[in-house]
Amino acid sequence: MTNSRVQKTGTINKNKIEKLIRQLLVELGENPNREGLIGTPKRIAEMYEEIFSGYKMNSELDVSFSEETNAIIARDIQFYSMSEHHMLPFYGRIHIAYVPNGKVFGLSKLVRLAEKYSRRMQIQERLTTEIADEVSKRGVSGVIVIAEGEHLCMKMRGVRNNNSIMTIAYRGVFEEKGIRENILNLIYTRQNNIINL
């Protein structure tokens, strides 16, 4: 079994998804022609196009500006994703801190980056590392990404527990414990959403 994904391009086939959802309703013992369900297959196909749009998104991290600063922290970026194991949502917050190397990203680009990797079939561990890897590849001196998520696959079924999951990925200068701890302290002091150190 391989971990690699099929590269997704273009738009999804909404007509095919509508047919599949209609068949799923029948298999569940529902009447897809009853008033409350008659438009459901179409609504789900349209929703899937939106919530799985990350496959074709560009994070636009190539939009950067020459600027000297010690570190940038973006906190509390909301994310919504879909577990690839049970196709149930997980959601929460992502914090991204990076040490630029002479160039800073446009601030909205960090939000786009989180959306690029969360708006797809995903697991939280991979979501965290994919974001860290993409920032790291842009030549920064270091990056740390923390994702805090709540998983409906654990709340609605299985263990039925309300715990949350935290995942962390760090690269570059953040591999040094002292620097990492300093940034983590700043991330968890809730004063502003964006801090220049």
**Which pLDDT belongs to residue 161?**
86
Helix 124-136 vs helix 107-118: crossing angle, to nearest 10:
140
Q: Please provide the CATH number assigned to the domain covering 14-51.
A: 1.10.286.10
Per-domain residue ranges for the chain?
Answer: 14-51, 58-196
Residue pLDDT, tens place only, 126-175: 999 999 999 999 999 999 999 999 999 988 988 888 889 999 999 999 99
**Residue 17 contacts residue 57 (beta carbons within 8 Å):** no
Q: Check if CATH label 3.30.1130.10 holds for domain 58-196.
A: yes
How many whole angstroms separate alpha carbon 149 and alpha carbon 169?
Answer: 14
Residue pLDDT, tens place only, 27-44: 999 999 999 999 999 999
Across 99-122, average pLDDT: 94
**Which pLDDT belongs to residue 28?**
97
**What pTM was estimated for this model as a whole?**
0.87
